[in-house]
Amino acid sequence: MILPGRVYLVGAGPGDPDLMTVKAQRLLAEAEVVVFDRLVSREIMRLANPLAVQISVGKEPRHHLVPQSEINRILVRQALAGRMTVRLKGGDPFVFGRGSEEAIALRAAGIACEVVPGITAAQGCAASTGVPLTHRGLATSVRFITGHCRQDEPLDFDWRGLADPDTTLVVYMGAASIASIAHRLVSEGLPASTPVLAVNNGTTTRERRLLSVLGSVAGAADAALFEGPVLFIVGAVVTLYDGAPLCPILREVTSLERVMAEEAVHA
């Protein structure tokens, strides 16, 4: 009789292998099967047990090669075969990672499941760029939202609540929807001059940054031709970017001259 294996829902962090937990690295090195997402960096996958079976289940907006229901079945099937399985997710499994859906499916099948947290993209990008998510006098709270909804349904948020000048708003997976998000925030009263920092492939050697303002960030992001995940940090804390504080009282910005794209070059 084959005893069921155990499944670990492991957060790979934002991309830099050094930002993974010790436990995450150990489990990845011991895994017999690794089921991984598109957002898991190549550098992290190199840490996997070379003898492990690697199963890619990556999703892209409006292009889900492996639906969530099938991912659930893969995890159950591998565990029932007695294999130690790591479900590797970018960031944290329980922050826009659908890890809770997989945990529910595993529990329903009688499979032991353990969650290993990871540094989520907002934390990683904040550390990488030096932009705090909260700062006394600028932001007293932070909110995370996703720019991509289930089955590509329209975004439905408390827009008035999100348009709070004392709150830092972090938008995950927002490259395709930043125009509509920015429009709704401005229509609810958040100034078009509110600074925005877009971070592409954060914490990796391919990281790129775009400094803009809410009223023009959509066009600037399109022009940047980002490839890979993009995270947007919206709010007064962005004035602290690069260690050079601007006036805490946001100034009106009406020109694209303040829009700046830069490559983060790592030796």
Residues 203 and 174 occupy one common structural domain: yes
Residues 45 and 82 occupy one common structural domain: yes
Model confidence pLDDT, tens digit, residues 181-237: 999 999 999 999 999 999 999 999 999 999 999 999 999 999 999 999 999 999 999
Asked about 173 being catalytic, the answer comes back as yes
DSSP output for 58-70:
-EETTEESS-HHH
Under a CB-based contact definition with an 8 Å cutoff, are residues 196 and 188 in contact? no
Name the average pLDDT for the chain: 87
In a domain, 214, yes or no: yes
Residues 178 and 146 occupy one common structural domain: yes
In a domain, 1, yes or no: no
User: What per-residue confidence (pLDDT) applies to 226?
Assistant: 95
- 251 pLDDT exceeds 70? no
Q: Which of 20, 89, 92, 173 is catalytic?
A: 173
- 67 pLDDT exceeds 70? yes
- 267 pLDDT exceeds 50? no
Residues 100 and 40 occupy one common structural domain: yes
In a domain, 155, yes or no: yes
Q: Residue 263: what residue type?
A: E
Q: Residue 241: what residue type?
A: Y
Q: Which of 37, 89, 92, 164 is catalytic?
A: 37
User: What per-residue confidence (pLDDT) applies to 156?
Assistant: 83
Percent of the chain with pLDDT over 90: 79
Under a CB-based contact definition with an 8 Å cutoff, are residues 47 and 24 in contact? no
Q: Which of 23, 45, 59, 84 is catalytic?
A: 59
Residues 76 and 158 occupy one common structural domain: no
Residues 125 and 111 occupy one common structural domain: no
- 11 pLDDT exceeds 90? yes
Asked about 59 being catalytic, the answer comes back as yes
Residues 135 and 204 occupy one common structural domain: yes
Q: What is the pTM of this model?
A: 0.85
Model confidence pLDDT, tens digit, residues 119-162: 999 999 999 999 999 999 999 999 999 987 655 567 889 999 99
Q: Name the domain boundary from 77, 101, 116.
A: 116
Asked about 222 being catalytic, the answer comes back as no
Nearest to 52, CA basis, from 36, 72, 71, 70? 36
User: What per-residue confidence (pLDDT) applies to 149?
Assistant: 61
Residues 30 and 44 occupy one common structural domain: yes
Phi, psi dihedral angles at 177 (to 5 degrees): -125, 5
52: containing domain: 7-116
User: What per-residue confidence (pLDDT) applies to 61?
Assistant: 53
CATH code of residue 235: 3.30.950.10
Termini Cα distance of the chain: 52
Q: Name the domain boundary from 116, 133, 148.
A: 116
